[in-house]
Amino acid sequence: MINTLLICGGGGSEHQVSLRTADFIERQLCELEEVALERVEMDGNGRLTDRHGQVRRLDQDRMLRDENGGAWEVHYVIPAIHGYPGETGDLQSLLDLFGIPYYGCGPEASKICFNKVTTKLWLSALGIDNTPYQYLSSREPEELAKASMALEEWGQVFVKASNQGSSVGCYKVSSTQELDRALEQAFALSPYVLVEKCLKVRELEVAVYPYEGKLVITPPGEVCAPAGSFYSYEEKYSDASRAVTHVEAPGLSEAQVSWIHEAARRAFVGLQLKDLSRIDFFLTESGEIYLNEVNTFPGMTSISMFPKMMAHAGHDFRRYMANLIRAAVNRQS
Ligand SMILES: Nc1ncnc2c1ncn2[C@@H]1O[C@H](COP(=O)(O)OP(=O)(O)O)[C@@H](O)[C@H]1O
Ligand SMILES: [Mg+2]
């Protein structure tokens, strides 16, 4: 038996979404005979509780302990946490320290991809096109002037807190008043802020993962935000979402698909990603293709693209997970 610990929640702005992702993973894994699954929810202080509300603690000797002296040896961890401290790589650092193998990217790749500024530096270093931007490191007048100039030059911009996901801290801005407010809100959420040129785009994304010894990059899927809006937190997760998704984007040319595949491969390999990622692209009206972001732990709710694109590619999530868990635990022993 491989004792697998599913850690979800995290206490941040994406806590609830993480629980839904964990539900999906749990449903898949409970059908695997060789996997014994325990699920714990983490709060904002790193405290773990199990499904009975009992406090649990993961110790350096890889034991998951309860308050009655019970202990369960952990062989593998699934950090199902969007945002801090899972998708940001912090929990993975601790797991590395304890020597417990886990699902997904290591701390370094996670950290790089979670910071929208750092991601851009890496993308440019890897020769992957990304949207024009300005970067603000403080609210000093000369930094704020960069944002005003960007708005003037581009007419409309996206202000983004650098260390957030799920469209939290992401604002579409068309006027100076909106800019001031957006910068204030973004700086309240993260130490760095990105001001990006707002483009009229189609939003394409690929799932990237190893399957039976090969790195798979799926055909691009597409999310269509409702007219006049963008792909906000609401549109991503609410039941009333008006966003339309296509598991395979219609009407792309072969050249466009291969361009996207080449960029996705370069990002996955160059950033040393592991096990999974959803890589998001913008296709602009004039035909440029920009890599928007790399999600090292994409959503896996019932309406999420990663599992849908994997299924569409004819791959079985259960088999994929079983292979990863088995291989990681074998490497360990
Ligand atoms: N430069 C841009 N031009 C047009 N739309 C954008 C731009 N940047 C972001 N968006 C819109 O905002 C959404 C969220 O931005 P994104 O950078 O993907 O942040 P998050 O990490 O929160 O998903 C995108 O899915 C898209 O709808
Ligand atoms: Mg996004």
Same domain, 59 and 172: no
Same domain, 69 and 214: no
Please tell me which residue, 301 or 232, carries the higher pLDDT value: 301
Same domain, 122 and 252: yes
Same domain, 176 and 74: no
Domain that residue 6 falls in: 2-103
Q: Which residues contact 137 (CB under 8 A, 6 or more apart)?
A: 143, 191, 192
Task: Examine residue 321 and state whether it is found in any structural domain, yes or no.
Answer: no
Judged against a pLDDT cut of 90, whether residue 332 lies above it is answered with no
Same domain, 213 and 253: yes
The catalytic site residues sit at: 14, 166, 304
Task: Examine residue 327 and state whether it is found in any structural domain, yes or no.
Answer: no
Q: Which ligand is nearest to the CA of 160?
A: 1
The DSSP bridge pattern shows strands 170-173 and 133-136 to be unpaired
Of the listed ranges 92-96, 162-166, 199-203, 294-298, the least confidently predicted one is 162-166
Judged against a pLDDT cut of 90, whether residue 242 lies above it is answered with no
Percent of the chain with pLDDT over 70: 99
Q: At what angle do helices 15-29 and 317-332 cross, to 10 degrees?
A: 90
CA-to-CA distance for 128 and 140, rounded, in angstroms?
Answer: 31
Task: Examine residue 290 and state whether it is found in any structural domain, yes or no.
Answer: yes
From the list 202, 166, 212, the residue with the least C-alpha distance to 313 is 212
**252-282 pLDDT, tens digit each:** 999 999 999 999 999 999 999 999 999 999 9
Task: Examine residue 85 and state whether it is found in any structural domain, yes or no.
Answer: yes
Same domain, 175 and 217: no
142 is an annotated ligand-binding site residue: no
The DSSP symbol for 124 reads H
Domain boundary among 144, 175, 197: 197
Spacing, Cα 80 to ligand 2 middle (Å): 18
CA-to-CA distance for 168 and 161, rounded, in angstroms?
Answer: 8
Per-residue confidence (pLDDT) for residue 168, from 0 to 100:
80
293 is an annotated ligand-binding site residue: yes
Residue among 153, 204, 292 whose CB has most ligand 1 atoms within 8 A, to mutate: 292
Closest residue CA from atom 19 of ligand 1 = 167
Q: What is the DSSP code string of 236-286?
A: HH-TT---EEESS-TT--HHHHHHHHHHHHHHHHHTT--S-EEEEEEEETT
How far is residue 132 from each of residues 135, 198, 262, 290, 292, measured CA to CA in Å? 10, 9, 20, 9, 11
Say if ligand 1 is within 6 A of residue 205 CB: no
Q: Which ligand is nearest to the CA of 167?
A: 1
Number of domains into which the chain is organized: 3
Same domain, 237 and 121: yes
pLDDT-based confidence at residue 39 (cuts at 50, 70, 90): very high
Spacing, Cα 311 to ligand 1 middle (Å): 25
Given a contact cutoff of 8 angstroms between Cβ atoms, the answer to whether 64 and 72 are in contact is yes
Given a contact cutoff of 8 angstroms between Cβ atoms, the answer to whether 49 and 57 are in contact is no
Residue among 162, 167, 190 whose CB has most ligand 1 atoms within 8 A, to mutate: 167
Task: Examine residue 142 and state whether it is found in any structural domain, yes or no.
Answer: yes
Say if ligand 1 is within 6 A of residue 169 CB: no
Same domain, 125 and 258: yes
Per-residue confidence (pLDDT) for residue 303, from 0 to 100:
84
Task: Examine residue 42 and state whether it is found in any structural domain, yes or no.
Answer: yes
Task: Examine residue 331 and state whether it is found in any structural domain, yes or no.
Answer: no
Judged against a pLDDT cut of 80, whether residue 230 lies above it is answered with no
Q: What is the CATH number of the domain that holds 222?
A: 3.30.470.20
Q: Which residue has the tokens 């009206």?
A: 285
Same domain, 124 and 261: yes
CA-to-CA distance for 8 and 51, rounded, in angstroms?
Answer: 11
Same domain, 252 and 125: yes
CA-to-CA distance for 168 and 160, rounded, in angstroms?
Answer: 8
Q: What is the CATH number of the domain that holds 29?
A: 3.40.50.20
Same domain, 240 and 306: yes
Task: Examine residue 29 and state whether it is found in any structural domain, yes or no.
Answer: yes
Q: Pick the atom of ligand 1 nearest to 199's CA.
A: 3
Q: What is the CATH number of the domain that holds 166?
A: 3.30.1490.20
Spacing, Cα 166 to ligand 2 middle (Å): 6
Same domain, 182 and 264: no
